Amino acid sequence: MLKKDQKSDVYEQFIQAKKLGENEKTSILQKIKNVESFSDLMEKINRKIIKNASFVINNRVASSVYRKKILRHHCFYIDDNEVKTLMEHLNSSKQLKITNEQTKGKRGNENNEEMNDKMNENQTWFEIKKNVIYDNLIFKIKPSIQEYIKSPFAIVNLNAWKTKPNMKVVYDEHGNSRGPNRFHQDGYPPGHYKCMIYLKPLDDDHGKIQVEDKIFESKKGGLCLCFNNNLYHQSIPGKSGERHVIEITLMRTIVKVDILKNYPGTPDSIHLKQAYQAYI
Ligand SMILES: [Fe+2]
């Protein structure tokens, strides 16, 4: 448990990150000034508007049909046997690294090779294929996710990885901090949420997770944290133990869909290319 003065430090850290993020947001005038050419303008329109239009429409309709307001975060546990089964399965799965290879039907991270190398020094991903173990996990946690998200949903990506202790913040070629261990927003199109499953305890040894001004801790493995990943959050590295995490990315849908159809992810995938893929 955090002491009172630690809690105020955590709050202060979040406020600073938020202020910094707001200062970095470019004004509309500055955005217009930054346009270099007609093709640059078209590329920006495509990246910001056309590419995300299906997600914006999907989320608008889902929010008007179902409850608009979703809690910032929601926690629940999977049982110890489930944690054991998942750990055994991951430990027998093929180990992978980030490569920036395109995953069919999915969008991915857009890091350069140097950034990937830095991430790969500390993190190892597990191969995820459609499997009865993940199918069962999804069915077990579905009611708790439903309670949080207040609408039907699709699972648009499932990833799993392990992180070495003492992972540092990584920096890109412009000196900007990158990676999970600094306050950031994931910047996914609207309608996306995450459910993180921590298979190890959330403590000083294995690391913790912070969403805005709240640090999540757990004496045992199996804590599931659903949260809006466009809120400021950061991973707090552990001091001695490896951290094993399953990351489930959710997208609100307007009607019930097959939630098992799109989950297999790769180290390079984050969510579907277009919202309609969840319905077909
Ligand atoms: Fe994140």
pLDDT tens over the chain, length 280 residues: 667 676 777 778 788 877 777 776 666 666 667 777 777 777 776 667 788 999 999 999 999 999 778 999 999 999 999 999 999 999 999 999 998 888 999 999 878 888 889 899 999 999 999 999 999 999 999 999 999 999 999 999 999 999 999 998 888 878 888 888 899 999 999 999 999 999 999 999 999 999 999 999 999 999 999 999 999 999 999 999 999 999 999 999 999 999 999 999 999 999 999 999 999 9
Q: What domain count does the chain have?
A: 1
Q: Which residues contact 33 (CB under 8 A, 6 or more apart)?
A: none
CATH number of the domain encompassing residue 98: 2.60.120.620
Q: Which tokens go with 199?
A: 């298979």
CA of 29 to the centre of ligand 1 (A): 29
Q: Is residue 163 part of a domain?
A: yes
Q: Is residue 149 part of a domain?
A: yes
Taking the C-alpha atoms of residue 121 and residue 123, their distance in angstroms, rounded to an integer, is: 6
CA of 125 to the centre of ligand 1 (A): 16
CA of 186 to the centre of ligand 1 (A): 5
pLDDT of residue 171: 85
Domain that holds residue 161: 51-278
pLDDT of residue 114: 85
pLDDT of residue 174: 80
pLDDT tens per residue, range 202-261: 999 999 999 999 999 999 999 999 999 999 999 999 999 999 999 999 999 999 999 999
pTM of the model: 0.89
DSSP H or E segment with residue 267: none
CA of 39 to the centre of ligand 1 (A): 31
CA of 185 to the centre of ligand 1 (A): 6
Single-letter residue type at 103: T
Q: Is residue 40 part of a domain?
A: no
Q: Is residue 110 part of a domain?
A: yes
Phi, psi of 29 (to 5 degrees): -60, -45
Q: Is residue 45 part of a domain?
A: no
CA of 180 to the centre of ligand 1 (A): 6
CA of 194 to the centre of ligand 1 (A): 9
Q: Is residue 111 part of a domain?
A: yes
Q: Is residue 145 part of a domain?
A: yes
Strand order in 243-252's β-sheet? 73-77, 223-227, 192-198, 243-252, 153-163, 123-126, 95-96
Yes or no: say if 97 and 125 are a contact pair by the CB < 8 Å rule.
Answer: yes
CA of 105 to the centre of ligand 1 (A): 21
Q: Is residue 114 part of a domain?
A: yes
Q: Which residues of 36-67 are buried (b: 16+ CB within 10 A; e: fewer)?
A: eeeeeeeeeeeeeeeebebbeebbebbbeebe
pLDDT of residue 45: 67
CA of 229 to the centre of ligand 1 (A): 6
Terminal CA-CA length for the chain:
46
Taking the C-alpha atoms of residue 94 and residue 256, their distance in angstroms, rounded to an integer, is: 32
